[in-house]
Amino acid sequence: MKKISNMKKIGIVCDDWKVKIFKRHLDECKYEYKQFDGPTKGNTTLQVLSPTIAEVQPIIRAAYDECEVIKEARSLECQPK
Protein backbone atom coordinates (compact mmCIF):
# COMPACT_ATOMS: atom_id res chain seq x y z
CA MET A 1 0.00 0.00 0.00
CA LYS A 2 1.01 3.60 -0.56
CA LYS A 3 2.47 5.55 2.37
CA ILE A 4 -0.40 7.13 4.33
CA SER A 5 1.18 10.34 5.72
CA ASN A 6 0.27 13.55 3.85
CA MET A 7 -2.35 11.78 1.77
CA LYS A 8 -5.31 13.54 0.21
CA LYS A 9 -8.77 12.01 0.10
CA ILE A 10 -10.06 11.92 -3.47
CA GLY A 11 -13.72 11.10 -4.12
CA ILE A 12 -14.75 9.10 -7.16
CA VAL A 13 -18.50 8.81 -7.73
CA CYS A 14 -19.52 6.17 -10.24
CA ASP A 15 -22.50 4.10 -11.28
CA ASP A 16 -22.79 0.91 -9.27
CA TRP A 17 -22.00 -1.30 -12.28
CA LYS A 18 -18.64 0.48 -12.70
CA VAL A 19 -17.41 -0.09 -9.14
CA LYS A 20 -15.68 -3.43 -9.83
CA ILE A 21 -13.76 -1.88 -12.72
CA PHE A 22 -12.60 1.14 -10.70
CA LYS A 23 -11.64 -1.05 -7.73
CA ARG A 24 -9.65 -3.41 -9.96
CA HIS A 25 -7.66 -0.49 -11.41
CA LEU A 26 -7.02 0.95 -7.95
CA ASP A 27 -6.04 -2.46 -6.55
CA GLU A 28 -3.61 -3.10 -9.42
CA CYS A 29 -1.87 0.18 -8.59
CA LYS A 30 -1.89 -0.57 -4.83
CA TYR A 31 -4.10 2.35 -3.81
CA GLU A 32 -5.96 2.36 -0.52
CA TYR A 33 -9.62 3.32 -0.69
CA LYS A 34 -12.94 3.11 1.14
CA GLN A 35 -16.32 2.46 -0.42
CA PHE A 36 -19.54 4.31 0.47
CA ASP A 37 -23.10 4.21 -0.83
CA GLY A 38 -24.38 7.18 -2.79
CA PRO A 39 -24.58 10.11 -3.07
CA THR A 40 -27.71 8.92 -4.88
CA LYS A 41 -29.37 5.57 -5.51
CA GLY A 42 -27.44 3.59 -8.11
CA ASN A 43 -24.14 5.35 -7.35
CA THR A 44 -21.15 4.49 -5.20
CA THR A 45 -18.39 6.72 -3.87
CA LEU A 46 -14.82 5.47 -3.62
CA GLN A 47 -12.60 7.55 -1.34
CA VAL A 48 -9.02 7.12 -2.53
CA LEU A 49 -5.90 8.10 -0.61
CA SER A 50 -3.18 9.68 -2.75
CA PRO A 51 -0.44 12.28 -2.29
CA THR A 52 -1.81 14.23 -5.27
CA ILE A 53 -4.84 14.19 -7.51
CA ALA A 54 -2.56 14.16 -10.54
CA GLU A 55 -1.04 10.85 -9.44
CA VAL A 56 -4.36 9.01 -9.39
CA GLN A 57 -5.90 10.77 -12.39
CA PRO A 58 -4.46 8.38 -15.04
CA ILE A 59 -5.85 5.41 -13.11
CA ILE A 60 -9.29 7.02 -12.95
CA ARG A 61 -9.08 7.78 -16.69
CA ALA A 62 -8.14 4.18 -17.51
CA ALA A 63 -11.06 2.83 -15.48
CA TYR A 64 -13.44 5.35 -17.03
CA ASP A 65 -12.26 4.47 -20.54
CA GLU A 66 -12.77 0.77 -19.87
CA CYS A 67 -16.31 1.50 -18.65
CA GLU A 68 -17.03 3.45 -21.83
CA VAL A 69 -15.92 0.52 -23.99
CA ILE A 70 -18.20 -1.83 -22.05
CA LYS A 71 -21.09 0.64 -22.23
CA GLU A 72 -20.66 0.99 -26.00
CA ALA A 73 -20.52 -2.79 -26.47
CA ARG A 74 -23.72 -3.19 -24.44
CA SER A 75 -25.51 -0.55 -26.49
CA LEU A 76 -24.54 -2.32 -29.71
CA GLU A 77 -25.92 -5.61 -28.36
CA CYS A 78 -29.27 -3.94 -27.64
CA GLN A 79 -29.75 -2.39 -31.09
CA PRO A 80 -32.41 -3.99 -33.29
CA LYS A 81 -31.08 -5.98 -36.23
Q: What is the pLDDT of residue 5?
A: 65
73 confidence band (pLDDT: 50, 70, 90) = confident
pTM of the model: 0.82
Within-domain flag for 2: no
Per the structure, the complete domain to which residue 24 belongs is given by 8-78
Chain centre to alpha carbon of residue 32:
12
Q: What is the pLDDT of residue 15?
A: 95
Query: Side chain identity at 52, as an amino acid letter?
Result: T
Q: What is the pLDDT of residue 71?
A: 86
What CATH number does the domain containing 33 carry?
3.30.70.120
Give the separation between CA 18 and CA 25, rounded to whole angstroms. 11
Give the separation between CA 60 and CA 81, rounded to whole angstroms. 34
Q: What is the pLDDT of residue 65?
A: 96
Beginning with the edge strand found earlier in the chain, give each strand of the sheet holding 43-50 in spatial order. Answer: 8-15, 43-50, 33-37
Q: What is the pLDDT of residue 72?
A: 85
What domain count does the chain have?
1
Within-domain flag for 3: no
Within-domain flag for 68: yes
